[in-house]
Each structure stands twice: as structure tokens, then as C-alpha cells.
Structure 1
Amino acid sequence: MKRSTIFAVNKVLKARGILFNFHSLRHTHATLAIEAGIPIKSIAARLGDSVEMVNKIYANDILNKLSKYLITLGASI
């Protein structure tokens, strides 16, 4: 998708008070795909990123969430 199109859509959404942008959708898609067990290599190809980049950005988010969950779980035992 062209940057000008993305910019125009984001501008309209922002003007209507809708907190959404295409980057957020991309991030959500990658995170959910990792959580669903889709291979990182497939996700990287779909996003046009390297496997290393996907691991660094998206898989790291999941590990952080898991760590927080385990800490909370441990505190409640």
C-alpha cells in the first residue's frame, strides 16, 4: 500500500477520534500469529522482515508478557 494512502486513511481516522493506524494492525497481526504458533520464518516473509527482526520486535513482546504473567502467578501462590 502506498504511504500516501496510509497517511490519508490515518488522518481521517484520527479526525474521527478513532485510535488506529496500520502499524498497530501490523504489530497485532504479527503478535497473534506468533501466539498461534505460526513459524517465525513465515511471519517474517509475510511482513517483509528478517527472522531476526521479527524475533527482536514481536517475539520479545510475548516473552515480556509471559514473564510478567509468571511473576504475577508466583506472587499469588
Structure 2
Amino acid sequence: MSDESRKPNVTYSAAVGSVDLHAFKEDGTPHEIWPCHDCLPWHAEVVRFEGDILVREWHAVECPQFQELISDE
């Protein structure tokens, strides 16, 4: 099986990673949170860190959305 035909491991048992995103835009408008349909272990939590309110999204490490989020940082 070639690497291109392999699907990422995005099941409940997949390794997970997290990324912290600002909960509000610069003008104070809150960001909307939508579930990730690319991986089963996705979940989100709101955290306060050094006075900022952040949304911490958890994804399967191989999830395409997670890979996109961490490559933008």
C-alpha cells in the first residue's frame, strides 16, 4: 500500500495533540467553535492562560485540520 492511499489514523484510539487558539478576534468578537469531522477524538476546552482566554482544540495527531493548524503557527 503506497503512502498516498493510506488514510490517517483518526479513530478514538489515535494519538492526540492540542493547539491553543485565541477565543476572540482583535475587535472582541468571539470565534465560533465547530467540531472537527476529520477525527473522532476531537474536543475543545476553554482555558485561561496568563490573562488570555484561549480555546484549546484536541485532534488526532494525523488529522488534516490539526496538521494545518500547527503549520500556521
Q: TM-score, normalised by structure 2?
A: 0.24
User: Which has the larger strand fraction?
Assistant: 2
TM-score by length of 1: 0.24
**Bigger Rg, structure 1 or 2:** 1
